[in-house]
Amino acid sequence: MSMNEEKKEYRPLIVAFCCNWCSYAGADLAGSSRLSYPADVKIIRVPCSGRVNPMFILRAFERGADGVIICGCHPGDCHYSTGNYYARRRMALLFSMLEYIGVENGRTRVEWCSAAEGAKFSKTMNEFCEKIQSLGENVRLGDLRCKN
């Protein structure tokens, strides 16, 4: 890994997919409670964590995201009953696959966050940003076919 002499302050790019019913509302609550987290996090509203197609996640990485987090309702609390269960399986398999091909653990995360958990949302985002900051720029996931 090459290191520049003067280290520019690295700011990660983080995409968060939040379900409309729990996590997006939780993010709103974090906002109205003024519980800050880094501006590196950009939220995309989706109806349900089950709507998050693995394609979206890979797309974000390919376009230069350093971390992707998916937030949904707690298991059992999905607004659509079951969407988060499927998301949980999908993401478990996808994350395990990413680890398998040698991508650093921690660039992807799933967190269950209810509409009442503004504090948890903020805490999660702070932790996630810190983790991505420590991992640095995403190189490996930029091109899984690995042709440079």
Partner 1 sequence: MQKIGVFVCHCGTNIAATVDVKKVVELVRYEPGVVFADDYMYMCSEAGQEKIIEAIKEYGLTGLVICSCSPRMHEKTFRACAEKAGLNPYMVEVANIREQCSWIHKDREEATKKAVILARAAIAKVNLNTPLKEGESPVTKRALVIGGGIAGIQTALDIADAGYQVDIVEKEPSIGGRMSQFDKTFPTLDCASCILTPKMVEVNQHPNITLYTYSEVEKVSGYVGNFDVDIRKKARSVDFDKCTGCGECSTKCPLGKIGKIPSEFDRGLKNRPAIYMPFAQAVPAVPVIDRENCTYFKTGKCGVCAKICPSKAVDYEQKDEIVTVKYGAIVVATGFDIINLDKFGEYAYNESPDVITSIELERLMNAAGPTGGHLERMSDHKQPKDIVFIQCVGSRCDSEEKGKPYCSKVCCMYTAKHAMLIKDHWPDTNITVFYIDVRTPGKNFDEFYRRAVEQYHVNYIKGQVGKVKPQPDGSLMVQAADLLDGKQINMKADMVVLAAAVEPNPGVRKIATMLTASIDNNNFLTEAHAKLRPVESPTAGIFLSGMAQGPKDIPETVSQAGAAAVKVIGLLAKDKLKTNPCTAQCDTLLCNGCSTCANVCPYGAITYDDVQVMDHGLRETRRVAQVNLALCQGCGACTSACPSGAMDLQGFSNRQITTEVDAICR
Partner 2 sequence: MQELIDRLKELIADGTIVRAIGWKKGDMPYNPEPAYFTEAEDFDDFVYDGFCGANLSKMMIEAGKLEGKTAVCLKPCDTYSFNQLIREHRVNRENTYIIGVGCRGKLDIEKARKAGIKGIKSISGVEIEGDGDVVFDTIYGEKKMAYKDLMLDRCHVCKGKEHVIYDELIGQSQDTDDADRFEEVRKIEAMTPDERFAYFKTELSKCIRCNACRNVCPACSCRKCVFDNTKFDSQQKANVDSFEEKMFHIIRAFHVAGRCTDCGECSRVCPEGIPLHLFNRKFIKDIDDFYGEFQAGKDPEAQSPLTDFTFEDLEPKDAVGRGDK
Instruction: Determine the size of the site formed for partner 2 (CB under 8 A).
Output: 40
33, 44, 101, 130: which one binds partner 2 (CB under 8 A):
101
Beta strands in the chain (DSSP E): 14-19, 41-46, 67-72, 108-112
Considering only the stretches 9-17, 39-47, 117-125, 137-145, report the one whose residues sit in contact with partner 2 under the rule CB under 8 A.
137-145
Assess contact for 62 and 142: CB atoms under 8 A: yes
* Partner whose binding site includes residue 133, from partner 2, partner 1, none (CB under 5 to 8 Å by kind): none
* Partner whose binding site includes residue 50, from partner 2, partner 1, none (CB under 5 to 8 Å by kind): partner 1
* Partner whose binding site includes residue 134, from partner 1, partner 2, none (CB under 5 to 8 Å by kind): none
Chain centroid to CA 68: 3
- As beta bridge partners, residue 18 has 45, 71
Q: Which is nearer to partner 2, 93 or 116 (CB)?
A: 93
Window 32 to 91, contacts with partner 2 (CB under 8 A) = 53-55, 58-59, 62-63, 75-76, 82, 85-86, 88-91
- Three-state DSSP class for 94? helix
What's the Cα-to-Cα distance from 85 to each of 1, 99, 124, 135, rounded to whole Å? 39, 21, 20, 29
